């Protein structure tokens, strides 16, 4: 019961990572205020929770909704200890030479401003939390491997998530004086609805699409299984807990090794340069390699 007597807010809680994190925090004692634009999904989560989860509708594109969420939760529970800024979708897909200004702004508001305003409106309710009991309040932002390099998402999403990562660092410096920690998680491929909803996959093809995501993601990384929402929920719970009390302004990469380096380093089926040279009679590929 790491979160007994703690109050947590989770955005994007009706599905995928947010749903798994909501259930994880509640199962370990937190009173969770789950929010989403999906009212049916969010309310179902609350109804099945024996009072541990309350649903409040919040569109994270609307700062007034975010403020209302934080104020309502704090009024009902006395303050906020944990904020998981997690809601997002795939955003605009055009490449940089085709994107319209409105599409750019909408994606930045959904993915980046939402996190900034989540922090902005939660912190007044976090400042008073007794550090001796809680180890200080904790904010966790969902970034992405797309924040770290190209090729994992559309351009606008990647730039917005990179902004989330940098916001995490600078917010940690702003909020250290209040004992509030701020960290991010960079998930790799996690098999949730974000792919099918962002790419508007028809209902009839969703199950097949999920199977493709599972197979392709398992093959893309050293850990040979698809990522699950629970993998990220476990990381979020760690960052929310006192076990991570020496961490702030940083990120956890939870990606099955997706970003670890070149494929030939871990996949024996993919030859690298040294293997190619060895095949030409250049020596033993398993011997210590010269620096690149």
Ligand X SMILES: NC(=O)c1ccc[n+]([C@@H]2O[C@H](COP(=O)([O-])OP(=O)(O)OC[C@H]3O[C@@H](n4cnc5c(N)ncnc54)[C@H](O)[C@@H]3O)[C@@H](O)[C@H]2O)c1
Q: Please give the helix or strand (H or E) that residue 215 lies within, else none.
A: helix 206-219
Among 44, 72, 89, 201, binds ligand X (CB under 6 A): 89
DSSP secondary structure of 158-175: HHHHHHHHHHHHHHHHHH
By the rule CB under 6 A, 88 interacts with ligand X: yes
By the rule CB under 6 A, 144 interacts with ligand X: yes
Whether 220 and 276 have beta carbons less than 8 Å apart is answered as: no
Distance CA 286, CA 132 (A): 53
Q: Which is nearer to ligand X, 142 or 248 (CB)?
A: 142
Q: How far is the CB of 197 from ligand X (least distance, A)?
A: 5
Whether 90 and 154 have beta carbons less than 8 Å apart is answered as: yes
Q: Which is nearer to ligand X, 168 or 193 (CB)?
A: 193
Q: Which is nearer to ligand X, 117 or 135 (CB)?
A: 117
By the rule CB under 6 A, 109 interacts with ligand X: no
Q: Tell me which stretch binds ligand X (CB under 6 A): 97-105, 167-175, 189-197, 283-291.
A: 189-197
Distance CA 51, CA 84 (A): 19
By the rule CB under 6 A, 15 interacts with ligand X: yes
Burial (CB count within 10 angstroms: exposed 0-12, middle 13-18, buried 19+), residue 217: buried
Please tell me which residue in 121, 152, 157, 238 is annotated as part of the active site: 157
By the rule CB under 6 A, 110 interacts with ligand X: yes
**Which residue's CB atom is positioned nearest to ligand X?**
16
Among 14, 80, 175, 239, binds ligand X (CB under 6 A): 14
DSSP character for 280?
Answer: I
Q: How far from chain centre, in Å, is Cα 44?
A: 22
Q: Which is nearer to ligand X, 60 or 82 (CB)?
A: 60
Q: How far is CA 16 from each of CA 131, 166, 244, 278, rounded to the nearest angstrom? A: 31, 24, 24, 46
By the rule CB under 6 A, 163 interacts with ligand X: no
Whether 56 and 72 have beta carbons less than 8 Å apart is answered as: yes
Whether 252 and 186 have beta carbons less than 8 Å apart is answered as: yes
Among 8, 9, 10, 12, binds ligand X (CB under 6 A): 12
Among 7, 9, 25, 36, binds ligand X (CB under 6 A): 36
Q: Which is nearer to ligand X, 109 or 134 (CB)?
A: 109
Number of residues that bind ligand X (CB under 6 A): 28
Q: Which is nearer to ligand X, 74 or 140 (CB)?
A: 140
By the rule CB under 6 A, 236 interacts with ligand X: no
- The alpha carbon dihedral of 240, 173, 142, 62 has a sign of positive
By the rule CB under 6 A, 81 interacts with ligand X: no
Q: Tell me which stretch binds ligand X (CB under 6 A): 124-132, 182-190, 267-275, 284-292.
A: 182-190
DSSP secondary structure of 95-149: -TTT--HHHHHHHHIIIIIHHHHHHHHHHHHHTTS-HHHHSS-EEEEE--GGGTS
By the rule CB under 6 A, 87 interacts with ligand X: yes
Which are the catalytic amino acids? Answer: 157
**Which residues in this chain contact ligand X in the complex, by CB under 6 A?**
11-12, 14-18, 36-38, 58-61, 86-89, 110, 142, 144, 187, 189-190, 192-194, 197
């Amino acid at each position: 019961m790491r979160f007994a007597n703690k109050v947590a807010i989770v955005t994007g809680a009706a599905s995928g990572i947010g749903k798994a994190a909501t259930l994880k925090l509640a199962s370990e004692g937190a009173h969770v205020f789950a929010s989403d634009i999906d009212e049916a999904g969010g309310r179902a989560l609350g109804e099945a929770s024996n009072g541990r989860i309350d649903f409040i509708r919040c569109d994270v594109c609307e700062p007034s909704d975010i403020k209302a969420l934080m104020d309502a939760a704090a009024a009902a529970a006395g303050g906020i200890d944990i904020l998981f800024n997690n809601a997002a979708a795939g955003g605009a897909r055009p490449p940089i030479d085709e994107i319209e200004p409105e599409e750019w702004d909408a994606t930045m508001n959904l993915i980046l401003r939402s996190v900034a305003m989540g922090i902005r409106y939660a912190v007044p309710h976090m400042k008073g939390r007794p550090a001796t009991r809680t180890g200080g309040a904790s904010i966790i932002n969902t970034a992405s491997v797309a924040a770290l390099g190209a090729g994992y998402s559309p351009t606008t999403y990647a730039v917005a998530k990179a902004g989330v990562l940098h916001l995490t660092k600078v917010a940690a410096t702003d909020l250290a004086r209040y004992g509030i920690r701020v960290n991010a998680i960079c998930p790799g491929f996690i098999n949730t609805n974000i792919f099918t909803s962002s790419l508007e996959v028809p209902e009839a093809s969703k199950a097949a699409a999920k199977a493709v995501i599972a197979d392709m993601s398992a093959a893309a990384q050293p850990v040979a299984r698809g990522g699950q929402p629970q993998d990220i929920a476990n990381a979020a719970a760690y960052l929310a807990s006192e076990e991570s009390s020496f961490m702030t302004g940083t990120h956890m990469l939870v990606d099955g090794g997706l970003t670890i380096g070149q494929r030939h380093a871990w996949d024996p089926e993919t030859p690298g340069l040294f293997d190619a040279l060895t095949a030409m009679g250049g020596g033993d590929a398993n011997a210590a390699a010269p620096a690149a």
